[in-house]
């Protein structure tokens, strides 16, 4: 080709970024890397190669992290963390700021190393990943500066184990490291085995920027090394981004350990196109949604839902657009897409596409030349994909979108939410009423209105349902790297076993409390009841012994009461006040019951009732005041951070404080719009069964509060296993905490346990925002504007 | 053969649009106009990402810049224009790039001229005379340019006078009020009458997008003008406070695409004002190529209204040939 032939053809020519600096950097390590522990690189050990996906050529030899390596890294982190946390916030802010600056000063080198190692286009690393990473460090330098004033009741967690994926190696590193370090933690991070280089480069830069030794440790390796980190006793928190399958294992592995956990997992995010959308913009949105980073994006808009009336038009435009895409090697600056990560991934993608086509999906694929040698897969849309097909429900993690149609906004929402995942959603409509209604109703942690895959350090990122829990970025993300100081001194819980009756004392009046399900008192399924023994050894009455079917029924009733979440906050506040008022009217009776069950003195019993009334008022007060914030990301628009109810939440109430413990856990959940299945204190359940009448006279809608009495551990297991329970709070023995955390892995429900250590329920710290945060999940709705 | 006829560009030259390309228009479809939706933020994201997705370097860059030269409507639209000034511009239009540079780029055998010369009516005859034998058409801005608020009959008379003086292309300005008040019938009628007055001359509709403000207005005005028979749609007079921008261009070229999908007719696009750097024009080309296709990279479907762009392209080409950065005074003045 020469000028004249280009003049005639007006073709593009490959335009390659210079990689000599990146090659020289690799050569300076002789293309062999050890781990970065306690401020220095270890000697390279046994390991594996990392290759260029675009060419299949080996870039470097990487060490496989062993138990010894992980031990050293955790020890180094532990040693460094105290002094790091003890630094004034301003000092830590300066270090974070220095990290941001050194990323910017080396932006081109990082961008090239990243593109080589991952296969993604240099445009994306240069224009998106690396600038966002620098922004993350700047933003979190600010949180370090403000930590004392903004989080006075919280302390750093300690040593954080972080495991990140290969799709955004450097960006995910910054999302993990910046908040952890800013808030006074030390880090042991494992980059993905396929893409370790930018993390190793960052280690070198962090050292140059003056980060103290041991505060940041990088251990390379595959899944086994990750397991060593996640399972390490010296780690206080595990933050993981990756597949739902591995997330589940980490949940099980860390159960009962007391480790804080953040999981950012898979997705099958809906991309909803209404008939009043700017259709060309929506088509371009698909390019950004599923052909960004070869579709290897957890929040990729991989499920296109188009309103039926415009579906033909939209698909025609999309089919034309796909032909204009260009694919090439990662350093070429004229491309839209690079190679997928490796041959296995390509084979997996191809297999899912082939099977979908065999099941009747219509294949729309770019007819393009692909470079030799790399693992390329063309941009693909599967139209009219059968809803039953695996490609329609499972994450493909490649450049493949599936497309379906809907008729009405209701149906759009139904289809959008009909997924086990709940990471993101993208909504295309020029009608603000329509767009915001869907934004409010879609089950996702991130909602993009007329945009997709936009991110910012100041706006929390994270999912709901099987897409995980926890947020990264913004104020909401900070709490995932902090712990409430109030809980630090919580003692190990005293075991309270139900007393045995002294002799046999038949009752003249049947005082068997039933269960409370769907607003009605219901007999237990098993038709068993158990005596409740008072402090004096006398039988106070009987309660039903709930079983798994009672749990099933209670969850169904709670699921059916979905309208509670949609009730106005004012309305929920009124009902909580009303509950408090009605409890107060029967204060003497409830105090007497507490005395009879637990043997406390009269004044203490009265105090517990009074505290319970006050707590109901507290959450009535919070009900219309627990608000979101408006983030101001660097764009013309807003990001609305809305705390939303989680859904159906199980509560194993603490054995102590039979009334106050119940109110303290159930009230924040109800106040924020959740529906609850509560299991009262096994030894002292009658305060809660007495509460039925309070609930019945306080206008609490049926199904919002359901009570199943019985064995806390057995019922906790049933709730933990139940796949239609969205969260589970369990306060009891260490065994209970471990059990529910382990069993929650099925649908990755969020858990809140005290692992056998007891809150002081009478303390002011046993109410308020710590509990409200646990009762809600933040949804960030991005709304760019402009006429 | 009379001089006036000789000065008309020959139909055999590539710069001359053939009649097959003319847009005969279609009935005004108000429902379609009302259905127009344009999202500004999405448009901005698309155009912001484009240069990063389509870098054009090396020989391709030189080729694209030379192609850009052939698409320039070399323009002078100033109150102090004179015959002498216009003749100098025409000379530049005929030989826009130094022959030694063309030779060094292997393009010595190609005929590189600008796409047209664009002047006020007063200088049409002068330009036609100055360009005699070059095949370069003369475009006249018209209809009370730039505000377009002269009496309607005067505007039609102005078009006819320019055509009579030999203008092959007429750049009309629309009445912005029709867009700002949603009076699409009035805009459609006005445009139809302008086109009729142009006769065989091709008509470019200047929307003055800086006055229309919203991209939705831009898209609607684009479609109405095309329905009424505009051969080209053009962004600006160069006199508004905001002239051609990439989001506006994206909106207009998508309207062209929509019109083509409806009628099969290919309408041309002309950004004007604000395209002054060689680098900018590469992005505009990429936009045309990506959104409309290869055909829109030729002067019969793409023009750039510019006065200072050529000088920047010349300097870039010299840099490509010599490896040294150039200066304005190394290239003949236009």
* pLDDT, tens digit, 9 for 90 and up, residues A431-459: 999 999 999 999 999 999 999 999 999 99
The mean pLDDT of A253-264, rounded to a whole number, is: 96
Q: What is the CATH number of the domain that holds A620?
A: 3.40.605.10
Residue A146 lies in a domain: yes
Show the tokens assigned to A40: 């220095």
Beta bridge mates, A492: A757
Show the tokens assigned to A494: 């005293």
Please give the Cα distance from B58 to A12 (Å, whole number). Answer: 10
Predicted confidence at residue B7, as pLDDT, reads 37
Q: What angle do CA A241, A245, A251 make, to 5 degrees?
A: 70
Say which of B38, B54, B59 has its CB closest to residue A2.
B59
Share of chain A above pLDDT 90, in %: 95
Please give the Cα distance from B199 to B187 (Å, whole number). Answer: 19
**Whether pLDDT at A336 is above 70:** yes
Residue A497 lies in a domain: no
* pLDDT, tens digit, 9 for 90 and up, residues A365-388: 988 989 999 999 999 999 999 999
CB contact under 8 A, A7 and B110: yes
**Helical (H) or strand (E) element with B74:** strand B72-75
Find out whether B156 and B193 touch, Cβ atoms under 8 Å: yes
Residue A604 lies in a domain: yes
Specify whether B19 is catalytic.
no
CA proximity to A541, closest of A497, A506, A590, A589: A506
Residues in chain A: 787
Distant-in-sequence, close-in-space partners of A72: CB < 8 Å, separation ≥ 6: A37, A38, A42
Residue A5 lies in a domain: no
Same domain? For A260 and A316 the reply is: no
Residue B265 forms contact with A (CB below 8 Å) = no
Same domain? For A108 and A247 the reply is: yes
**Whether pLDDT at A194 is above 80:** yes
Please give the Cα distance from B314 to B318 (Å, whole number). Answer: 6
CA proximity to A121, closest of A241, A364, A295: A295
CA-based nearest residue in chain B for residue A8: B63
Please give the Cα distance from A442 to A426 (Å, whole number). Answer: 10
Please give the Cα distance from B281 to B71 (Å, whole number). Answer: 10
Please give the Cα distance from B239 to A683 (Å, whole number). Answer: 84
Same domain? For A253 and A295 the reply is: no
CA proximity to A333, closest of B176, B226, B54, B181: B54
Distant-in-sequence, close-in-space partners of A414: CB < 8 Å, separation ≥ 6: none
CA proximity to A221, closest of A246, A241, A240, A194: A194
Q: By residue range, what is the domain housing residue A191?
A: 20-265+480-485
State the greatest distance between any 2 C-alpha atoms of chain A, in Å, as a whole number. 107
Same domain? For A622 and A680 the reply is: yes
* pLDDT, tens digit, 9 for 90 and up, residues A733-766: 999 999 999 999 999 999 999 999 999 999 999 9
Same domain? For A751 and A695 the reply is: yes
Residue B59 forms contact with A (CB below 8 Å) = yes
The mean pLDDT of A713-718, rounded to a whole number, is: 98
Interface of A with B (CB under 8 A): 1-7, 10-13, 15, 123, 126-127, 276-282, 284-285, 288, 324, 326, 333-336, 430, 450-451, 635-637, 784-787
The minimum CA-CA distance between B81 and chain A, rounded to whole Å, is 34
DSSP string across A137-183: HHHHHHHHHHHHHH-TTEEE--EEEEE--SSSHHHHHHHHHHHHHHT
Residue whose token pair is 């990392």? A50
Residue whose token pair is 């959740």? A674
Q: Which of A114, A193, A298, A451 is catalytic?
A: A298
CA-based nearest residue in chain A for residue B293: A324
Same domain? For A238 and A288 the reply is: no
Predicted confidence at residue B274, as pLDDT, reads 87
DSSP SS3 for B316? helix
* pLDDT, tens digit, 9 for 90 and up, residues A228-242: 999 999 999 999 999
Report the interhelical angle of A107-118 vs A89-105 (nearest 10°).
70
Class of the CATH-defined domain B3-8+29-320:
alpha beta
Tens-level pLDDT at each residue, chain B (334 residues): 334 433 333 333 334 444 557 999 999 999 999 999 999 999 999 999 999 999 999 999 999 999 999 999 999 999 999 999 999 999 999 999 999 999 999 999 999 999 999 999 999 999 999 999 999 999 999 999 999 999 999 999 999 999 999 999 999 999 999 999 999 999 999 999 999 999 999 999 999 999 999 999 999 999 999 999 999 999 999 999 999 999 999 999 999 999 999 999 999 999 999 899 999 999 999 999 999 999 999 999 999 999 899 999 999 999 999 999 999 999 999 8
Residue A6 lies in a domain: no
- Give A-chain residues touching B216 at CB under 8 angstroms: 787
CB contact under 8 A, B60 and A13: yes
Say which of A3, A12, A279 has its CB closest to residue B106.
A3
Please give the DSSP secondary-structure letter assigned to residue A127: I
CB contact under 8 A, A786 and B55: no
CA proximity to A284, closest of A318, A326, A335, A333: A318
Predicted confidence at residue A495, as pLDDT, reads 84
* pLDDT, tens digit, 9 for 90 and up, residues A528-587: 999 999 998 889 999 999 999 999 999 999 999 999 998 899 999 999 999 999 999 999
Find out whether A667 and A576 touch, Cβ atoms under 8 Å: yes
Q: What is the mean pLDDT of chain A?
A: 96
Q: What is the CATH number of the domain that holds A307?
A: 3.40.309.10
For chain B, give percent helix, strand, coil, nearest 5. Answer: 50, 10, 40
- Give B-chain residues touching A18 at CB under 8 angstroms: none
The mean pLDDT of A278-283, rounded to a whole number, is: 98
CA-based nearest residue in chain A for residue B286: A12
Domain count, chain A: 3
Same domain? For A218 and A242 the reply is: yes
Q: Which of B234, B280, B300, B312 is catalytic?
A: B234
The mean pLDDT of A255-274, rounded to a whole number, is: 97
Burial of A745: CB neighbours in 10 Å, binned 0-12, 13-18, 19+: buried
CA proximity to A286, closest of A403, A407, A378, A393: A403
* pLDDT, tens digit, 9 for 90 and up, residues A584-606: 999 999 999 999 999 999 999 99
Helices marked H in A255-342: 279-290, 308-323
Specify whether A451 is catalytic.
no
Count of A-B CB contacts under 8 Å: 107
Beta bridge mates, B172: B205
- Give A-chain residues touching B41 at CB under 8 angstroms: 450-451, 635-637, 784-786
Same domain? For A215 and A255 the reply is: yes
Please give the Cα distance from B159 to B141 (Å, whole number). Answer: 9
Residue A679 lies in a domain: yes
DSSP string across A483-529: EEGGGTTPPBPPP-PPPPPSS----SS--EE-EEETTEEE--TT--E
* pLDDT, tens digit, 9 for 90 and up, residues A58-76: 999 999 999 999 999 999 9
CB contact under 8 A, A4 and B107: yes
Q: Which of A124, A264, A466, A656 is catalytic?
A: A264
Helices marked H in A645-768: 660-671, 686-696, 712-721, 734-743
Same domain? For A207 and A282 the reply is: no
Residue B121 forms contact with A (CB below 8 Å) = no
Best of B55, B108, B298 to disrupt the A interface (most A CBs within 10 Å) is B55
Residue B294 forms contact with A (CB below 8 Å) = yes
Please give the Cα distance from B278 to B65 (Å, whole number). Answer: 7
Residue A265 Cα distances to A129, A240, A269, A750, B210, angstroms? 19, 8, 12, 13, 46
- Give A-chain residues touching B67 at CB under 8 angstroms: 7, 10
**Helical (H) or strand (E) element with A638:** strand A637-645
**Whether pLDDT at A417 is above 60:** yes
Among the residue ranges A22-36, A173-187, A426-440, A498-512, the one predicted with the least confidence is A498-512
Find out whether A751 and A685 touch, Cβ atoms under 8 Å: no
CA proximity to A483, closest of A81, A237, A187, A156: A156
Same domain? For A312 and A332 the reply is: yes
Same domain? For A137 and A220 the reply is: yes
Residue A13 lies in a domain: no
CB contact under 8 A, B106 and A4: yes
Residue A633 lies in a domain: yes
Please give the Cα distance from B286 to B265 (Å, whole number). Answer: 21
Same domain? For A241 and A285 the reply is: no
Q: Who wins on pLDDT, B19 or A224?
A: A224
Residue whose token pair is 């009217």? A585
For chain A, give percent helix, strand, coil, nearest 5. Answer: 45, 20, 35
Please give the Cα distance from B321 to B142 (Å, whole number). Answer: 40
């Amino acid at each position: 080709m020469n000028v004249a032939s280009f003049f005639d053809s007006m073709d593009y020519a490959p335009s390659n970024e210079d990689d000599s600096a990146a090659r020289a950097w690799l050569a300076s390590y002789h293309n062999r890397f050890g781990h970065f522990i306690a401020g220095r690189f270890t000697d390279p050990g046994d390991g594996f190669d990392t290759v260029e996906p675009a060419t299949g050529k080996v870039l470097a030899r990487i060490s496989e992290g062993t138990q010894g390596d992980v031990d050293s890294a955790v020890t180094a982190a532990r040693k460094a963390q105290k002094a790091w946390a003890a630094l004034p916030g301003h000092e830590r802010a300066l270090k974070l700021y220095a990290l941001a600056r050194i990323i910017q000063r080396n932006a081109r080198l990082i961008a090239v190393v990243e593109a080589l190692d991952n296969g993604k286009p240099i445009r994306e690393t240069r224009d998106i990943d690396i600038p966002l990473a620098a922004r993350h460090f700047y933003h979190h330098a600010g949180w370090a500066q403000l930590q004392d004033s903004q989080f006075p009741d919280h302390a750093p967690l300690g040593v954080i184990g972080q495991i990140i994926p290969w799709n955004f190696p450097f960006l995910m590193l910054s999302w993990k490291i910046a908040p952890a370090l800013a808030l006074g933690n030390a880090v042991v991070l494992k980059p993905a085995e396929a893409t370790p280089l930018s993390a190793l480069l960052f280690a070198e830069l962090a050292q140059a920027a003056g980060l103290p030794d041991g505060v940041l440790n990088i251990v390379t390796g595959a899944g086994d090394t990750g397991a060593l980190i996640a399972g390490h006793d010296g780690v206080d928190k595990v933050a993981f981004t990756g597949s739902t399958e591995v997330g589940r294992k980490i949940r099980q592995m860390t159960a009962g350990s007391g480790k804080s956990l953040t999981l950012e997992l898979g997705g099958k995010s809906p991309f909803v196109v209404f008939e009043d959308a700017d259709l060309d913009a929506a088509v371009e949105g698909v390019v950004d949604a599923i052909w960004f980073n070869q579709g290897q994006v957890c929040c990729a808009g991989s499920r296109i839902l188009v309103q039926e009336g415009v579906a033909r038009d939209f698909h025609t435009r999309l089919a034309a657009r796909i032909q204009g895409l260009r694919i090439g090697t990662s350093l070429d600056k004229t491309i839209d897409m690079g190679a997928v990560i490796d041959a296995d991934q390509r084979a997996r993608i191809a297999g899912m596409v082939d099977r979908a086509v065999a099941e009747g999906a219509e294949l729309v694929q770019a007819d393009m030349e692909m470079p030799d040698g790399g693992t390329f897969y063309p941009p693909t849309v599967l139209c009219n994909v059968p809803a039953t097909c695996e490609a329609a429900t499972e994450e493909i993690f490649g450049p493949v979108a599936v497309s379906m149609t809907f008729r009405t906004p209701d149906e759009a929402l139904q289809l959008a939410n009909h997924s086990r995942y709940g990471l993101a959603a993208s909504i295309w409509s020029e009608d603000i009423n329509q767009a915001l209604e869907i934004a409010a109703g879609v089950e996702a942690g991130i909602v993009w209105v007329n945009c997709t895959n936009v991110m910012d350090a100041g706006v929390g990122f994270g999912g709901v349902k099987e897409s995980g829990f926890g947020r990264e970025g913004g104020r909401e993300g900070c709490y995932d790297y902090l712990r409430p100081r109030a809980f630090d001194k919580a003692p190990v819980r005293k075991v309270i076993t139900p007393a045995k009756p002294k002799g046999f004392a038949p009752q003249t009046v049947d005082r068997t409390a039933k269960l409370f399900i769907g607003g009605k008192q219901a007999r237990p399924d098993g038709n068993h009841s158990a005596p409740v023994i008072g402090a004096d050894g006398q039988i106070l009455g009987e309660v039903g012994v709930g079983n798994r079917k009672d749990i099933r029924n209670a969850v169904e009733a709670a699921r059916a009461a979905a309208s509670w979440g949609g009730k106005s906050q004012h309305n929920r506040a009124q009902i909580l006040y009303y509950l408090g008022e009605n409890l107060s009217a029967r204060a003497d009776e409830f105090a007497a019951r507490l005395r009879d069950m637990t043997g406390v003195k009269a004044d203490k019993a009265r105090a517990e009732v009074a505290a319970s009334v006050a707590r109901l008022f507290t959450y009535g007060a919070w009900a219309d005041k627990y608000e979101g914030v408006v983030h101001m990301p660097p764009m013309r628009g807003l990001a609305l951070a809305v705390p939303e109810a989680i859904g159906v939440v199980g509560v194993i109430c603490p054995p102590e404080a039979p009334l106050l413990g119940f109110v303290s856990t159930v009230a924040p959940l109800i106040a924020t719009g959740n529906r609850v299945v509560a299991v009262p204190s096994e030894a002292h359940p009658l305060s809660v069964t007495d509460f039925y009448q309070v609930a019945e006279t306080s206008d609490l809608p049926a199904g919002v509060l359901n009570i199943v009495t019985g064995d806390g551990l057995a019922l906790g297991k049933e709730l933990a296993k139940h796949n239609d329970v969205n969260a589970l709070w369990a306060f009891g023995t260490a065994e209970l905490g471990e059990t529910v955390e382990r069993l929650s892995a099925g649908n990755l429900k969020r858990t809140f346990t005290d692992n056998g250590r007891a809150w002081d329920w009478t303390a002011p710290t046993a109410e308020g925002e710590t509990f409200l945060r646990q009762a809600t999940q933040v949804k960030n709705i991005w709304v760019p504007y402009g006429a | 053969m009379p001089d006036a006829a000789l000065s008309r560009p020959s139909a055999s030259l590539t710069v001359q649009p053939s009649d097959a390309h003319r847009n005969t228009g279609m009935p005004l479809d108000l429902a379609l106009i009302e259905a127009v939706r344009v999202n500004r933020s999405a448009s901005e994201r698309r155009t912001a990402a484009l240069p990063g997705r389509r870098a054009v370097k090396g020989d391709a860059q030189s080729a694209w810049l030379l192609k850009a030269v052939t698409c320039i409507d070399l323009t002078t639209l100033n109150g102090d224009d004179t015959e002498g000034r216009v003749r100098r511009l025409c000379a530049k239009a005929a030989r826009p790039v130094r022959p030694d540079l063309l030779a060094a780029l292997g393009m010595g055998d190609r005929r590189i001229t600008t796409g047209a010369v664009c002047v006020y009516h007063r200088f049409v005859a002068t330009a036609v005379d100055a360009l005699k034998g070059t095949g370069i058409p003369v475009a006249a801005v018209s209809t009370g340019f730039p505000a377009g608020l002269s009496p309607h009959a005067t505007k039609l008379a102005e078009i006819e006078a320019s055509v009579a003086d030999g203008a092959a292309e007429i750049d009309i300005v629309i009445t912005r009020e029709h867009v700002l008040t949603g009076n699409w019938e009035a805009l459609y009628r006005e445009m139809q009458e302008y086109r009729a007055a142009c006769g065989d001359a091709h008509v470019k509709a200047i929307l003055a997008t800086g006055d229309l403000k919203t991209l939705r207005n831009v898209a609607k005005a684009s479609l109405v003008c095309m329905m009424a028979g505009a051969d080209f749609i053009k962004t600006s007079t160069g006199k508004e406070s905001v002239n051609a921008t990439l989001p506006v261009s994206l909106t207009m070229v998508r309207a062209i695409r929509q019109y083509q999908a409806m009628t099969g007719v290919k309408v041309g696009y002309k950004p004007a004002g604000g395209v002054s750097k060689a680098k900018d024009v590469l992005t505009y080309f990429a936009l045309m190529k990506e959104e409309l296709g290869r055909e829109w990279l030729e002067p019969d479907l793409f023009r750039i209204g510019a006065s200072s762009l050529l000088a920047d392209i010349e300097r870039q080409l010299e840099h490509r040939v010599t490896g040294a950065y150039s200066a304005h005074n190394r290239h003949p003045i236009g």
